[in-house]
Structure 1
């Protein structure tokens, strides 16, 4: 299915046509599978060093016997590993350094195990993710020569989640293309294993420059930011972007963004970074900023700029929820006056974080959007007073919802605002 750039294109004019399409059958199966899965993330210490790989996996126990496993993966250099696993099961999650490279655990090799772990639901809009520590040690009381093979993999249990945190990548990679990167709207669970969730760098980290994190909207992809990233001032700023499945509940992907920002701050020690978000990305970013700052205990995100964000929600999401038995999960949070939005309205940005609001409009927008709009979102939603009144500034441009990201005046305004000259 061709990538749909935004929410209004996902469910606007011809709901009946969409209802008869095979894509909605696939969506229903995808959402049902997502509802049956939970997430687990671990931080392995010490992080892998040297040539010997460290592997992580999850498995079940049948009495004192190891039963089928899922999510076997090599642990990243930063010690991170993640899984999606079937709910209703209790797992052991562990990691070991395979010093003799035989894909087995041999007595004396570094090993760490967590017992009685239950995954947290992926489809729950309230439950937040948690990164569990796994410490590797050598002494586990096993006789010399003991070797333990990993249990047979059971794909019905789940698998690994591909994650990125500070990986250097090019926007031109296939995983960031609209059809691939944007597929997380309709196939959020598939995204977690076939794509890679996380915060990417466009170049190696530079402590002399301020990070700017770009967050796209629903159905979008990192390539939505091509014009910005190709033309942004790199003498002062280093450019990062968040890649996520936009069909997942917003509380989940917002929490992952918050945890990622905190993890990168801990790793690199920067004192500040800025966040620039488009469309639904603003709804993802604002709670993430609040959470990250609160958890860190220091405000390291002084500037937040939103562009064409549906702060008042979108009625297309409301229509989708009403007409579909299994709607896109993120629509639940984008619907006007959703629990997610109400909580966001009632939670101010941290003291010291400045919000600048940019919005657009065009003449002759689609007939199903009543009132002034940018072709996708109404100006009434873009400038919802519950958010606009707390913003330090707002700017209006005569540009469409997608076009606004390719306009030089938008880019120059964002740069001026971050430079304190707006």
Structure 2
């Protein structure tokens, strides 16, 4: 629960960090800038008795040169890759009916040509899902066998993605230290953890989904008190797991795409979003994108808690001290393009925003004015956002402690019931 506070403290102590730590961060950011994402959704898969595989490959002089990201396609048809931006790829999937890890003529197959990965660091890049439909007729002679191109690990690899997976908060991948690694090592998070939207129990069409989104350096376990005590008769509880060091437009777009995909899968009429700290920035942008792209407002209620709507000066400090800062700091600094876009873009018509902010007595000396130990009240209640809210409430709690209090929980549930 203290991860966000520790992240800010580290940020403020940047001049004291070891050169080794800074070098590791720089390498992460440089590698992130060199890679892009590709996600596919495969339909018309056989009944699941045989595996369907996906991979990306390059061509040279009409021949298959090398490949990356060989993976088993999820039962929901999703597969995702991290690939170098300096190449274009063919991306495909096939069902391996004879289990030989090669493609044999007549097996279900589909692929797309000339795929350019979407930059992982460009805030203007929006998530796209390539649609593949497996079919058997590809004009290959009977008996033709196509071996998989040789794997080239330098091209990139697999992005682990979850979409509606049922999971427990107790799993190691949701631990606070793992969430912290998503801040300082966002690229490693994409390959070693699992980005996406999780369910705490199987989907139930009779209950309203509530999506929880943590903040910078946070983890799903930040929401343990809420999830353990929330009204389960009325609501089903989901959470978003993401690397908080990535540019916020990118993780917002992933959240928006995931919410739309789950709605199209389960046909729920509405869902609500509850977010903490920087998660409020991620969520607001995601709600706007998801509703616009879906063409109907299926997210009518949004609650933010302790969100730095005016930005954070510590992010500005980090940017000044580092040639390659954590990418999300570029968006959290006061006056960033990301924040200016939030101010200029109202929430969708019909979406209400309830704002909760906190403060404590005797906050740290480096935060001027009233604060919650991490974020100033001035930022939490920035008028450019506050004026557009339906309600706002002040609670006397510290930045992360606020999520462990019955008072906060009861107020959030009361807001969602209105």
Question: In which range does the TM-score fall when normalised by the shorter chain?
Answer: over 0.9
Contact 1:48 1:79 in 2 (8 A): no
Distance across 2 between alignment mates of 1:194 and 1:280: 23
Distance across 2 between alignment mates of 1:108 and 1:211: 42
1:218-367 matches, within 5 Å, as 218-367=216-365
Contact 1:185 1:328 in 2 (8 A): yes
In structure 2, the CA distance between the partners of 1:5 and 1:55, relative to structure 1 (3 Å rule), is farther
Root-mean-square deviation over aligned CA pairs: 1.1
- Partner residue of 2:194 out of 196, 210, 213: 196
1:40-59 matches, within 5 Å, as 40-47=38-45, 49-59=47-57
Shift of 1:143: 0.9
Shift of 1:409: 0.1
Contact 2:7 2:180 in 1 (8 A): no
Shift of 1:10: 3.3
Distance across 1 between alignment mates of 2:5 and 2:313: 16
Secondary structure of 1:11's aligned partner: helix
1:164 is aligned to 2:197: no
2:176 aligned residue: 178
Contact 2:315 2:329 in 1 (8 A): yes
Distance across 2 between alignment mates of 1:391 and 1:155: 48
Contact 1:210 1:237 in 2 (8 A): yes
Secondary structure of 1:156's aligned partner: helix
2:23 aligned residue: 25
1:8 is aligned to 2:20: no
Contact 1:48 1:78 in 2 (8 A): no
1:138 is aligned to 2:173: no
Unaligned runs of 5+ in 1: none
Shift of 1:135: 1.5
Shift of 1:6: 5.8
In structure 2, the CA distance between the partners of 1:4 and 1:15, relative to structure 1 (3 Å rule), is same
2:382 aligned residue: 384
The CA deviation string for residues 10-45 of structure 1, in whole angstroms up to 9 with x for no partner, is: 312x33212x35222111100000000011111111
1:418 aligned residue: 416
TM-score w.r.t. structure 2 length?
0.98
1:199-218 matches, within 5 Å, as 199-218=197-216
Shift of 1:129: 1.2
TM-score w.r.t. structure 1 length?
0.97
Between the two proteins, the alignment pairs up a number of residues equal to 417
Contact 2:45 2:134 in 1 (8 A): no
Secondary structure of 2:41's aligned partner: strand
Contact 1:273 1:301 in 2 (8 A): yes
2:84 aligned residue: 86
The CA deviation string for residues 39-71 of structure 1, in whole angstroms up to 9 with x for no partner, is: 111111114532110000000011111111000
Distance across 2 between alignment mates of 1:215 and 1:10: 22
Distance across 2 between alignment mates of 1:190 and 1:393: 39
- Partner residue of 1:148 out of 137, 146, 149: 146
Contact 2:5 2:374 in 1 (8 A): no
In structure 2, the CA distance between the partners of 1:65 and 1:167, relative to structure 1 (3 Å rule), is same
Contact 2:306 2:380 in 1 (8 A): yes
The CA deviation string for residues 312-366 of structure 1, in whole angstroms up to 9 with x for no partner, is: 0001111111110000000000010100110111000001000000000001111
Contact 2:43 2:132 in 1 (8 A): yes
Contact 1:360 1:373 in 2 (8 A): yes
Shift of 1:90: 1.0
Secondary structure of 2:353's aligned partner: strand
- Partner residue of 1:404 out of 402, 405, 413: 402
Shift of 1:4: 5.0
